[in-house]
Amino acid sequence: MKTQINDNVLELMVGDITEQTTEAIVNAANGSLLGGGGVDGAIHQAAGHALMDECKKIRTEQLNGEELATGEAVLTKGYELPAQYVIHTVGPVWGGGSEGEEEKLASCYQNTLMLAADNGIKSITFPSISTGVYGFPIEQAAVVALRTVIDFLEKQAFGYVAFTLFSDHDYRIYEAAMNRVMQEEGR
């Protein structure tokens, strides 16, 4: 599914995020930035050891040894990936919905897009952040993600934003969410 928002394109697809050729892909990272499971592990494996080295350097030099906070984002090179850059963001762990999870998830998308724009990146691919081991209900996460991205694209000339989803099931959920958000926005 592809739609035009101002002069920007928003697309949903099923695939492997590590194979995307956008300028940047987004890593649903853990706060340590040292790799993990799911998307995080796949990106670290596909990018090679140099990505881990850069993440360690960011953790030491930019974060003063601390973990990257939920909702924040940092930029690295893509190394052995087709994408030139990886933007790492830490999604919220689902705690039942009463701990500001939606706002924190929206911050992931907003901060990632702002970081990309600030670095002249015009094409980016997102995974479904926090819907794996972090347990965020995908139906709810899809609406938050798409509403945040669409709001951003309505206000800014960016270029191309894609969501590369893990399965046809996830795609259908995002497709329904996109239709809902677009209808709410009067598009």
Enzyme catalytic residues:
40
CA gap 73, 27 in Å, rounded: 9
Element containing residue 86 per DSSP (H, E):
strand 85-90
Q: Which residues contact 54 (CB under 8 A, 6 or more apart)?
A: 76, 77
In the beta sheet, which residues pair with residue 75? 87
Dmax (CA) of the chain: 46
Q: Residue 79: which region, alpha, beta or left (left: phi > 0; alpha: psi -120 to 50)?
A: left
Question: Amino acid letter at 7?
Answer: D
Alpha carbons 179 and 171: distance in angstroms, whole number? 12
